[in-house]
Amino acid sequence: MTEENRVAMVTGASRGLGEVIARVLAERGHDLVIGARDETALNRVREQLAERGRHVVAIAGDVTDASVRRRWIDAARELGGLDILVNNASELGAIGPLMTFDVQRFGRVFPVNTGAPIALIQLAVPLLAARRGLIVNITSDAAHGAYAGWGPYGASKAALELLTRTLAGELLSHGVSAVLVDPGDMRTRMHQEAFPGEDISDRPLPDVTAPFWRWLFDQDREAIRAQRFVAQQQDAPWHQPA
């Protein structure tokens, strides 16, 4: 690969929002490293993106697995570097009152939603710094809403928001920017899991966020550092106070 090629990494890219983000990046000429647990679905996305003429490396695995994270970073290095890292993989966890929540399940929700993104960022920063790159961490309105039944998930995203804003300051000297994006309610498998048996056909498909992603990836990275965005608006500005 030449030094001029642009490379992006998207976790949770086998369907839904992650697939949309990866597609937008491919349309914009990025080579890609995509990851998710479902190998069959991930390879389907890889094949579709490769048809656009991009180099796409698909590595299936759990984001909490340190060896998988290293493989993703190694793949980006083989492609020539890393310009954009999108931490999209998330774990919903059990929806229900905190008084009946199995506290042991914190051991999955926080590692996926909070720990793994930071661990991946730690590995990625040397590559991102070489290209004054951008980190995008996917959050949720549950991080602020204190919605009944959503406590563990919301808490994990609230922690991610604080860590992201902290990182944005700490990485200033590295030339790496970090932002938060709340994609809003969408018709995805994870959202259906939050409302089992309910009809969520009134929610938009993840494609509704595509205009936002096209806008975001055009922005000056220093100008958007530490900002929080909402993706489901018809037009800019998408910025929302953190």
Active site residues: 153
Other Cβ atoms less than 10 A from the Cβ of 25: the count is: 27
Q: Residue 124's closest CA among 242, 3, 11, 1?
A: 11
Q: What is the DSSP letter of 33?
A: E
Strands 30-36 and 56-60 come out as parallel
CA distances from 22 to 63, 104, 122 (A): 17, 33, 22
The answer to whether the CB of 142 falls within 8 A of the CB of 153 is yes
Burial string for 157-173 (b: 16+ CB within 10 Å, else e) reads bbbbbebbbebbeebee
Quickly tell me which residue has 């590295």 as its tokens.
174
HSE-CB for 43 with a 13 A CA cutoff:
4
Tokens of 66: 């340190």
